[in-house]
Structure 1
Amino acid sequence: MSGTTSTAASSAAPSGRGGFAQSVTDSLVMAKRNLIRMVRIPEVVIFGLIQPIMFVVLFSYVFGGSIKVPGAGTDAGTYRQFLMAGIFAQTVTFATAGAGAGIAEDMHKGLIDRFRSLPMARGAVLTGRTLADLVQTALTLVVLAIVAAIVGWRAHDGILNALAGFGLLLLLGYAFTWIGALIGLTVRTPEAATSGGLIWLFPLTFISVAFVPSQNMPAFLRHIAEWNPFSATVVACRDLFGNFPPHYPVPDAWPMQHPVLASLIWSVVIVLVFRTLAVRKYRSAAV
């Protein structure tokens, strides 16, 4: 009798199909599903563009002549060059909240349970969601770069370095969507996922070198800012975009001296850690 029950239970919950190729196929199917949903609800993309554009305009024109950049003083034009890598990085990390809210909504509606009953790769649902968010983030970066060019920002070190900088930004954004995925699987409502996805991002992005140089901070905050993974990507992009003032004193901290390598290491580590945790949580989650 117990053997019959075990057999029925196992047949009621199909196991995911194995193989890397099948996992890729399932992930792309889920990514397509999420992209179609984004297209059908365009206001989500539109509202996602408004906030970074507001940050560009406000920081450029409200604070542009007030914040001193070492090696350049308070020149507004120089600050716009210094600022934009921080705005780009903040924009890609804020995709965390959208990823978390989307997964939490699927959990709330019972879709996750339906997906888990299908014979598909266990990580495909989450991978598909994060890939779709990556596409949306790339679109947002394109629009934001156009707005930045309008207010005076330029990439001075060539197209290849500029593309490498945007690549680091997208990798950071993709890494942070896995944090959002874990949050979305952990909380009970989309509202909680949105709040949980944003509340820790504000100190992460502002205790960094994104908007002000770390030299202006108290000593304990300066060390946090210089070892912040967010800061590493910001400094790497400034370096690749050629947006540092000529005599800018780079801090001595290792991530600030080797920002491209530090950015890659931080992003890869975040993906590996939080993808593992999110997939494990997905397998055991219950609505």
Structure 2
Amino acid sequence: MNIIVCIKQVPDTAEVKINSETNTLVREGVPSIINPFDENALEEGLRLREKHGGRVTVVTMGPPQAGETLRTSVAMGADDVVLVSDRAFAGSDTWATSYTLAQTIKKFGDFDLILCGKQAIDGDTAQVGPGIAEWLGLPQVTFAVKIEVVPEERKIKIERLLEEVNEKVECPLPAVVTVVKQINEPRLPSLKGMLRAKKAEIKTLSAKDIEADARNIGLSGSPTSVVKIFTPAPKGGGEILSGEPGEIVDKLLGKIKERKII
């Protein structure tokens, strides 16, 4: 199987700060990581390759420093890595990002499956995976918690994680699938993998290389308008009531009446 995994470099959520003037995340000086859901997608791609053979190609769009996430992908076991980087991509929303990734994937030739994390932890839109499918005209299945490939029938059987139940569906290949964290536990890079990652060649493609339409990339090609991004106000601390059960009940009722809840 030829599997393509799309990943994103995101700021570590423990260090997230917001620029109140531009309504954007402050990325300068903030540690970056591979989007956790994308790590699950990569792990699933590696497991499918180990079972069915083939190659795993990882692609990311971003500034030159996003290449570090690709080296991590190589350390985990990816065969090939591609960085799509160009100043023209700056300010891309999910529409422009999915278009850019789709244009890149068109340059790869034949493939069987595209895997993405269900969403990125910095935007939480869950739109890029489905957007790639739409740009490429491929079937899509989201929130996969289990993927089974049926090579002889050129299809996949997928179990989807929904709010109250799991749904089982089938889908012809090639297809786009987004995965949830429950699908697997990503492996740690091996020493051999880390040594290989240091020497790995990162192929870099520009807007011209992927023949991108300027109307669909970057800020000018992004129809999304962010009105405001803000940090939620901290919640007040809770109060612990102590004493015998009867005493606690009386105290609780007293506080409820005091606040005129009842």
TM-score (norm 2): 0.32
Q: Which has the higher helix share?
A: 1
TM-score (ref. length: structure 1): 0.30
